[in-house]
Amino acid sequence: MSRYTVLIIDDEVAIQKLLKIALESQEYTVIQAFSGREGLALAASYLPDVILLDIGLPDLNGHEILAHLHDWYTKSIIMLSVQNAELDMVKALDMGAMDYLTKPFRTGELMARIRSAIRRNATDQMKSNWTFQDLNLDLTARLLKKNNQVIKLTQTEFNLLVLFAKNEGRVLTHQQILKEIWGVGSQLETQYLRVYVGTLRKKIEDNPNLPKHIITENGIGYRFQG
């Protein structure tokens, strides 16, 4: 049995069955809750490594559950939603969810997201050096190298890349990034953010039009892939 535990909070029996089979085939320990209140109780009892949380539940919705979890649960939450729930997903990510999946989803993609979530749980967010494939980011020296060649970044570009690196695999909304880099009051300047992401991609991506590091989540934000 895996040392990693996944809590599924979803009222759809078919989804629960599918997820349980998929997760147990990868040797995860699975805990199941079919309502929000049950999910909160099980989360407190088991402190799972990852929570898969459906937005639409019969008692508490996903946003209410996130609010309850916010003060004490420090690991990763992946939201599950139906199609056309973009605003709900942005709100959930802004409230602290790490990632999201839209139903129906491929089990392979789910497993990849869970592995990423578990890696992030174990990541020391205070470390000063990251290596991502062809990139090496040194916070102490404020230096970026690509294939061992120094890449010159502006202060804002460097701060943006550090934010992405610290949140590898996590979806960051436009509003989260703007607030973190440019401060409160800048959350509506999404075009400004797109310009900086574009210049950063030109410097770190082999092909800025087909980026492998800074991935666009349409209508929501960006995900950094190491």
Q: In the chain, how many domains are there?
A: 2
Proportion of the chain above pLDDT 70, given as a percent: 94
* Parent domain of 38: 5-122
- Work out the average pLDDT over 17-29: 94
Instruction: Quick: pLDDT tens for 164-198.
Output: 998 888 899 998 999 888 887 776 678 889 999 99
Same domain flag for 25 and 68: yes
pTM for this one? 0.76
- The pLDDT assigned to 81 comes to 85
Domain boundary pick from 95, 122, 149: 122
| Residue 3 banded pLDDT, cuts 50, 70, 90 | confident
Lowest mean pLDDT among 18-32, 65-79, 113-127: 113-127
- Work out the average pLDDT over 64-85: 86
| Residue 205 banded pLDDT, cuts 50, 70, 90 | very high
- Work out the average pLDDT over 215-226: 90
Domain boundary pick from 73, 106, 122: 122
The secondary structure of the chain as a DSSP string is --S-EEEEE-S-HHHHHHHHHHHHHTT-EEEEESSHHHHHHHHHHH--SEEEEES--SSS-HHHHHHHHTTT--SEEEEEE-TT-HHHHHHHHHTT--EEEESS--HHHHHHHHHHHHHHHH--TT-SEEEETTEEEETTTTEEEETTEEE---HHHHHHHHHHHHTTT-EEEHHHHHHHHH-TT-TT-HHHHHHHHHHHHHHH-SSTTS-SSEEEETTTEEEE--
Same domain flag for 117 and 9: yes
Same domain flag for 96 and 181: no
- The pLDDT assigned to 2 comes to 60
Instruction: Quick: pLDDT tens for 112-168.
Output: 999 988 887 766 555 778 888 899 999 888 999 999 999 999 999 999 999 999 888
